Amino acid sequence: MKRPLFYNKATSNRGVALIFVLGAITFIASIVIELNYRAQISKNMMLSQQDGNKAYELARAAYRWSIFRLALDNSMDKAPVIAGTNYGGKKDDLSEMQWAFPLSYPFPVTAVPDENSGEAPAEISDIGGSFLSAITDESAKINLNDVFSGGIGTSISYSGAARVLINLLASPRFRYYLDNEDILNVFHAIDDWTDSDTQVNHLGGADENIEHLPDGVDYKIKNGPFYSLAEIRLLKAIDDDFYQELLPFVTVYPFDAKTPRVSSSSPSAKGKININTAPVEILAALFSAKVVSSNRARLECAQKIALARTTQAFRGISKKDTQPNLITFVENACNAPDQDQVEEAGAFIEKPVSDILSVRSDLFRIEAQGITEQMEKRIDAVVQREEKKPKILYWKVQ
């Protein structure tokens, strides 16, 4: 077969070579692009990690600053009481700037020129980000691990925290979610979750899991303390809407995980409710529903307490304590009978409730946030203030 007149062997070889060269260039280019892409990813990951570490350290700085503020407040409480003022003495209230107000850094400042030179002051050195910290009082809430019944047969009694919780759930705020039977179901479910036995306490038997858990779940009643508030959502009696409404009023701290709670006994409560920081709804729930049957009357008295503490914080609970104290106040402002002259059944504030009241807080939630240009980190912690070093009860980084 004859080759075409235009056939040229050299041209053909060059064409093949060109194809190989183009293929090689394409292959090399793809490798370079891939390597460059991976390098950029590695660089971004490294920068992101560095930014994350910086944001975390800023959040830790915010946490440490919060601990310092609590220690400062503790030192100020050792000062002598000045009568008629909020200064000195062991009490905590919402007017105490050393802990009760959010704090940010760098501090918001207004640059005022120097009067002599006219020059603006030097700016705060850039720390590569900022932080925010907020401290809230967990002692202003009802401790669900203290909500229980104790005793045998006809001698069964409710704890102070249980009585306050039941009164709170019977208030108008929760009537949309619960009726009287639902309120008791919530209490019984909490009681059975935290005790050490496996029977339904108020029935004297039966199966706790059938009584208190939703159908088809693969977990059982814990028979131990709540470690977090999210656990109460596992109970059949508590749905999402009710859970969200309840959150501002309850805590699970402190608790004792080492000592089982026996339902036949009546152990002492671990937590206290600070009347200087508790919300009005909880203040209203302190009063006996048997003695003060009107929700309106309880709320009006609670509002008077809340208003009075804005001027001067309460210094004690009983009439034997320093003035102003809670019992003397409710006798005068709320027309309560003389609490020293009435039987326990007629007490405005029942003894199991008064026993868990305080004017001081040692349990705080710290929310610390570190912010950089590209990243945010948040520390959520619950600490118990002690004389030397705070005890961390909960720690979560997000």
Query: Per residue in 144-201, pLDDT tens?
Result: 999 998 877 667 889 999 999 999 999 999 999 999 899 999 999 999 999 988 888 8
For the full predicted model, state whether its pTM sits above 0.75: yes
What's the mean pLDDT when you consider all of the chain? 84
* Token reading at 384: 């118990």
Give the model's pLDDT for residue 360: 93
Question: Closest Cα partner for 353 from 93, 167, 152?
Answer: 167
Whether omega for the bond prior to residue 248 falls within 30 degrees of 0, making it cis, is: no
The DSSP code sequence of 353-391 is: HHTTEES---EEEEEEEEE-SS-EEEEEEEEE--SSSPE
Domain that holds residue 40: 12-107+127-398
Question: What band does 47 get if pLDDT is binned at 50, 70 and 90?
Answer: low
- Of the two residues 396 and 33, the one the predictor is more confident about is 396
The DSSP code sequence of 45-77 is: HHHHHHHHHHHHHHHHHHHHHHHHHHHHHHHHT
Within-domain flag for 94: yes
**Beta-carbon count within 10 A of 174 CB:** 18
Within-domain flag for 115: no
Within-domain flag for 118: no
Query: Per residue in 308-319, pLDDT tens?
Result: 999 899 999 999
Question: What band does 27 get if pLDDT is binned at 50, 70 and 90?
Answer: low
Residue 249 is classified by DSSP as G
Query: Per residue in 116-139, pLDDT tens?
Result: 655 554 444 456 788 899 999 999
Within-domain flag for 112: no
Cα–Cα distances in Å, from 33 out to 46, 116, 348, 396? 20, 60, 79, 40
Q: Is the pLDDT of residue 338 over 80?
A: yes
Q: Is the pLDDT of residue 359 over 90?
A: yes
**Which of 48-57, 75-84, 162-171, 261-270 has the highest mean predicted lDDT (pLDDT)?**
162-171
* Token reading at 290: 């048997």
Q: Are 213 and 236 in contact (CB under 8 A)?
A: yes
Within-domain flag for 119: no
Within-domain flag for 2: no
- As a residue count, the chain comes to 398
Within-domain flag for 228: yes
The DSSP code sequence of 71-86 is: HHHHHHTTSPP-TTSS
What residue spans of 170-323 are helical by DSSP H?
180-194, 208-212, 240-246, 280-285, 295-311
Split into its structural domains, the chain has a count of 1
Percentage of the chain beyond pLDDT 70 is 82
Within-domain flag for 5: no
